[in-house]
Amino acid sequence: MVESIQRSTREERMEWIKTAKYNLFNLKSDQVFIDLLTDSGTGAMSDKQWSEMMLGDESYAGASSYYKLKEAIEDITGFEYFLPTHQGRAAENVLFSSMIKEGDIIPGNSHFDTTKGHIEFRKAHAVDCTIDEAFDTTLDHPFKGNIDLVKLENVLKSHPRQNIPMIIVTVTCNSSGGQPVSMENIKAVAAMAQQYDIPVVFDSARFAENAYFIKIREATYADKSVREIVREMFSYADAMTMSSKKDAIVNMGGFIGMKHKEMFEKASVFNILFEGFISYGGMSGRDMNALAQGLYEGTEFNYLETRIGQVAYLGQQLKDHGIPVQYPFGGHAIFIDAKRFLPELPVDQFIAQTLAVELYIEGGVRGVEIGTLLADRDPETGENRYPDLELLRLTIPRRVYSNNHMDYVAAALINVFERRVEISKGLKIVKEAPILRHFTVELEKA
């Protein structure tokens, strides 16, 4: 599918972003020239996926599209049980409804915002056990998504078993920069989980990119195929939640994969309540067909090499110009270290959001803040939570932009970098929601 994109002037963009209350989610898509807000649901489907759409079976129960998807999920991930959901957070809602209760502790590696939102909404707590290396953007570590086993064991030791319903491993770890988790680390986490008798759940939106990095960076996996690595990764998990809008290259969809019948039966009740009957759960038959096909395309080595190569192509240009970026480059996005880009701005002026606004004004490029706005307030104290990293994420949609577009993005950000000393003021909040505020927050100049 080819779409046209709209040019605009700097004056227009200054007006539009002001009207949008300095929140890039409030912009209309035709006010954006290159849209790097997210890689979620923004990919281009293939000819084969579009043909699959024509074959969708829209029966309420037992549709052939459901069985096609079931077969593809089992083939790719090894999970025997599955529930379709309309997207990733819906998978979290369903699974967590059946597993998490008030006061529970859920350790993991930098839980994604919707994951954390669904944990905190249930008055439970997400504990970040990511390795410290992840928070130093200058450090070259091949698996910055890894879980620190000492931190994890401390959590497991200091809380009763009945208060730890699961350990969540996010592959790749979005919040720390699209950074992969090594197979060695996955295995060690699974072994510890088994010792403490706690289920392991993978937040799997970018599982294929994670497998690609294992192949490229973990010597013992160099000769394995991406699909073999994927199967091995999932063999260490009890369940997975999936936002299919990422590595399965569809515009909408999600699912839960499970190893155990009992877990499936418990979650089914909530799936029917929130999403729909267990054989469609928020998805139409045609969408399940496209997703089944997308799971195969998203796990092809050549595709992954090209995609991750394009992300690195953008990252390298920025790095070569001295722009501070999370390194090594992640799978789906380049993360700009906004604190190092704008060192004079105080953290309470939302540094990464300020940089996102500046990049939009400069070139009509829409990125997204992964920083204090996203971190929300502490639900108990009501105070802002200041994460170690303030990042501007430039997320690359799958199979959409060319490297020419990447050149343009790099040029726009380099222009901002060259005038960075002039950016002396950030933003302040005018209005915010109590949870997941970054989507709707309203800001003005500080």
Ligand X SMILES: Cc1ncc(COP(=O)(O)O)c(C=O)c1O
The CA angle 90-3-395, to the nearest 5 degrees, is: 50
The least CB distance from residue 373 to ligand X, in Å, is: 15
Using a 10 angstrom Cβ sphere, with 0-12 exposed, 13-18 middle and 19 or more buried, the burial of residue 192 is: middle
The least CB distance from residue 160 to ligand X, in Å, is: 27
In angstroms, the CA 446 to CA 430 distance is: 10
Q: Out of 60, 75, 439, 445, which one is annotated catalytic?
A: 60
Q: Which residue is nearest to ligand X (CB)?
A: 88
**Where on the phi/psi map is residue 249: left (φ > 0), alpha (ψ -120 to 50), or beta?**
left
The least CB distance from residue 174 to ligand X, in Å, is: 4
Binding site for ligand X (CB under 6 A): 40, 87-89, 112, 114-115, 170, 174, 203, 205, 243, 245, 254
352 is catalytic: no
Q: Which residue's CB is nearer to ligand X, number 85 or number 317?
A: 85
3-class SS at 152? helix
60 is catalytic: yes
In angstroms, the CA 238 to CA 87 distance is: 20
113 is catalytic: yes
The CA angle 296-301-305, to the nearest 5 degrees, is: 125
Q: Out of 39, 104, 113, 247, which one is annotated catalytic?
A: 113
Q: Which residue's CB is nearer to ligand X, number 185 or number 349?
A: 185
The least CB distance from residue 294 to ligand X, in Å, is: 14
The least CB distance from residue 22 to ligand X, in Å, is: 22
Q: Which residue's CB is nearer to ligand X, number 174 or number 372?
A: 174
The least CB distance from residue 254 to ligand X, in Å, is: 5
Q: Out of 203, 247, 287, 376, which one is annotated catalytic?
A: 203
Q: Which residue's CB is nearer to ligand X, number 209 or number 362?
A: 209
Q: Which residue's CB is nearer to ligand X, number 73 or number 412?
A: 73
Which amino acid type is present at position 31? Q
The least CB distance from residue 423 to ligand X, in Å, is: 28
Quick one: which H or E segment has residue 413? Answer: helix 403-418
Cβ(291)–Cβ(119) below 8 Å: no
The least CB distance from residue 99 to ligand X, in Å, is: 16
Cβ(109)–Cβ(88) below 8 Å: no
172 prior amide bond cis, ω within 30: yes
Q: Out of 70, 118, 125, 246, which one is annotated catalytic?
A: 246
In this structure, how many other beta carbons lie within 10 angstroms of the beta carbon of residue 349? 18
**Where on the phi/psi map is residue 282: left (φ > 0), alpha (ψ -120 to 50), or beta?**
left
Q: Which residue's CB is nearer to ligand X, number 205 or number 325?
A: 205
Q: Out of 124, 205, 211, 237, which one is annotated catalytic?
A: 205
287 is catalytic: no
Report the DSSP pairing between strands 368-370 and 391-395: antiparallel
Structure token pair of residue 217 = 């960076």
In angstroms, the CA 180 to CA 176 distance is: 9
Q: Which residue's CB is nearer to ligand X, number 165 or number 363?
A: 165
148 is catalytic: no
123 is catalytic: no
The least CB distance from residue 86 to ligand X, in Å, is: 8
Q: Which residue's CB is nearer to ligand X, number 31 or number 110?
A: 110
In angstroms, the CA 121 to CA 334 distance is: 30
DSSP assignment letter at 25: G
Contacts 24+ apart (CB under 8 A), 184-191: 184/218, 185/143, 185/146, 185/147, 185/149, 186/233, 186/236, 187/236, 188/149, 189/147, 189/149, 189/152, 189/236, 190/236, 190/237
Q: What's the sign of the alpha-carbon dihedral 118, 144, 220, 191? A: negative
Q: φ, ψ for residue 242 (rounded to 5)?
A: -135, 130
203 is catalytic: yes
Q: Which residue's CB is nearer to ligand X, number 108 or number 315?
A: 108
Catalytic site residues?
60, 112-113, 203, 205, 246, 438
